[in-house]
């Protein structure tokens, strides 16, 4: 998706989400996808979940001025433009996913992780067992807890102290490089553990992955046996294999204080299943050429294989339009389903206790060198940092005079008549007119004659280019003003 940036001025110019090939693909094929889903996809990726429709409907409105916007104006030269609202949908919206990922990276690196060494862990399950996690998301949600238990058990045994506690941020990922279903767990874990007094104990440097692997294997087998998904005979059979298919990787270590490394890893853990950067092309017929993250060819599962049998090695795949939608929606979490977990010293409870302790100190300074973050300070700069990291420009810089742009009004989605009038007045209604997602929004009938302030300045050339990411900041500014922050 293009983000237009004026290289001469470094001024941020909002993107055009409705013009992207991916938006067009969803717009054109969603209704057909929904209609054929039961016949064509239920057996492959499970029953239709209500969250699919909700995600698509919201995504198709993301960045669309017709569904509400903020008016932003420069107080110095009166330069003005509109900023549409964002959808905040997971997986399906590249813009909102990217924003979420960057915010998560900042949150983990500055608000969660302490200045101690960390390791990235990755736990995987054999192909033979993945199918159970595809159809039973309750089992999928158990995997981070099992992975965390392997950490806690091994660490405590090595340190010889049952009272020590590590800290970990865990993420459920369900996708492989070419969008196929591949449930696994990523985690950022302290490379040691804390005593009750807050002292950090380091782990031996020559520790391998073997102790974790055996515990992980046993835990996953127990989970599936307990849920009645597999029989003991299968466990015996798989244990006799030379390679069971389970794996635990802990090869990436970050030294204490490597905030950038933590941020990069956290972003990697929370990234969206698909990336527009790897979407090579969408043909006029809707066929999608999608490439893998790495150039090394991989054995991609055969799409029709129910047991994920590997096909020929490749680092790209060409999807039919409906197949591409199916590959994406299977990774959308259910409403309220958390893919990120915080455990041990990094649990919400432990962080809350430490924050309270810091607040209670007379000068507000941390009571120990490992105690840390003040999340409140993150709020002040999170949006500016977000946009800076995404686009490397200052989004509030007036492109005309260099002043600071300010919000002057919110036009909410339920003000359909007002929205239409404003956009028509500015000659933007036809520009925004696109085939609407279903069910179509019902225009609101005003009870009285609506009015809106006239513009005092000529609209910029890019007035129709909208940026959903602006809204976060604008609402935050309004909230800050209300709270006197």
Binding residues for Zn ion, per CB under 5 A?
A: 62, 74, 76-77, 79, 86-87, 93, 96, 398, 400-401, 403
| Helix or strand holding residue 282 (H, E) | strand 279-282
> Which SS3 state, helix, strand or coil, does residue 134 take?
helix
Min dist CB 76 to Zn ion, Å, is 5
- Closest CB to Zn ion among 90 and 134? 90
CA 319 to chain centre: 23
Which of 117/403 has CB closer to Zn ion? 403
Nearest Cα to Cα of residue 278 among 26, 89, 22, 24: 22
Torsion angle of C-alpha atoms 370, 375, 380, 383, degrees rounded to 10: 100
Distance CA 316, CA 272 (A): 18
Helix (H), strand (E) at residue 340: strand 340-344
Q: Which is nearer to Zn ion, 11 or 371 (CB)?
A: 11
Task: Tell the smallest beta-carbon distance from residue 419 to Zn ion (Å).
Answer: 18
Cα dihedral 458, 463, 469, 471, rounded to 10, equals: 50
- Minimum CB separation from Zn ion for residue 453, in Å? 18
Helix, strand, or coil here: 165? strand
CB of 117 to Zn ion, least distance (A): 36
- Give least dist CB 320 to Zn ion, A: 25
Q: Closest CB to Zn ion among 86 and 124?
A: 86
Report, in Å, the least distance between residue 15 CB and Zn ion.
11
* Token pair 């017709």: residue: 66
Best CA proximity match to 300, nearest among 329, 271, 327: 327
Spatial separation of the C-alpha atoms in residues 302 and 310, rounded to whole Å: 6
Six token digits for residue 452: 């809106």
Smaller CB distance to Zn ion: residue 126 or 403? 403
d(CA 238, CA 190): 32
Least distance in angstroms from the C-beta of 22 to Zn ion: 12
* β-strands 4-6, 11-13 pairing: antiparallel
Name the residue nearer to Zn ion (CB basis): 80 or 217: 80
Nearest to Zn ion of 27, 214 (CB atom): 27
């Amino acid at each position: 998706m293009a983000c237009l940036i004026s290289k001469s001025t470094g001024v941020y110019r909002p993107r055009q989400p409705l013009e992207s090939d991916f938006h067009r693909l969803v717009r054109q094929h969603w209704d057909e996808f929904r209609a054929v889903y039961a016949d064509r996809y239920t057996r492959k990726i499970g029953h239709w979940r209500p969250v699919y429709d909700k995600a698509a409907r919201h995504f198709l409105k993301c960045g669309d001025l017709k569904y509400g916007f903020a008016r932003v104006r420069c107080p110095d030269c009166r330069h003005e433009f509109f900023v549409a609202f964002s959808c905040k949908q997971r997986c399906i919206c590249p813009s909102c996913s990217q924003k979420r990922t960057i915010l998560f990276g900042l949150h983990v690196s500055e608000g969660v992780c302490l200045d101690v060494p960390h390791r990235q862990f990755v736990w995987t399950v054999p192909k033979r067992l993945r199918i159970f996690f595809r159809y039973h998301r309750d089992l999928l949600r158990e995997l981070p807890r099992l992975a965390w238990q392997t950490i806690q058990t091994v660490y405590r045994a090595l340190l010889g102290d049952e009272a020590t506690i590590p800290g970990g941020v865990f993420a459920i990922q369900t996708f492989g490089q070419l969008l196929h279903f591949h449930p696994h767990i990523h985690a950022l874990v302290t490379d040691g553990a804390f005593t009750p007094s807050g002292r950090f104990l380091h782990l031996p440097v020559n520790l391998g992955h073997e102790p974790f692997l055996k515990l992980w294997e046993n835990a996953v087998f127990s989970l599936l046996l307990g849920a009645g998904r597999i029989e003991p005979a299968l466990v015996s059979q798989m244990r006799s294999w030379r390679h069971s298919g389970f794996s635990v990787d802990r090869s990436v270590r970050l030294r204490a204080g490597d905030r950038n490394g933590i941020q990069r890893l956290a972003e990697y853990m929370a990234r969206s299943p698909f990336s527009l950067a790897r979407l090579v092309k969408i043909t006029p017929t809707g066929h999608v050429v999608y490439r893998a993250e790495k150039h090394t060819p991989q054995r991609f599962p055969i799409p029709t294989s129910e047991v994920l049998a590997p096909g020929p090695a490749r680092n790209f795949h060409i999807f039919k339009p409906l197949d591409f939608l199916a590959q994406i929606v299977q990774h959308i979490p259910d409403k309220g389903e958390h893919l990120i977990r915080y455990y041990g010293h990094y649990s919400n409870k432990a962080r809350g206790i430490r924050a309270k302790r810091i607040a209670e100190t007379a000068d507000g300074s941390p009571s120990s060198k490992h105690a840390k973050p003040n999340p409140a300070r993150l709020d002040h700069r999170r949006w500016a940092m977000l946009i800076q990291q995404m686009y490397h420009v200052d989004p509030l810089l007036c492109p005309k005079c260099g002043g600071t742009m300010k919000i002057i009004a919110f036009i909410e989605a339920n003000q359909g008549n007002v929205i239409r009038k404003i956009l028509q007045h500015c000659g933007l209604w036809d520009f925004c007119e696109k085939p609407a997602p279903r069910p179509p929004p019902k225009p609101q009938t005003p009870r009285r004659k609506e009015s809106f302030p006239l513009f005092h300045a000529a609209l910029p050339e890019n007035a129709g280019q909208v940026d959903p990411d602006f809204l976060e900041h604008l609402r935050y500014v309004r909230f800050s003003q209300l709270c006197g922050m």
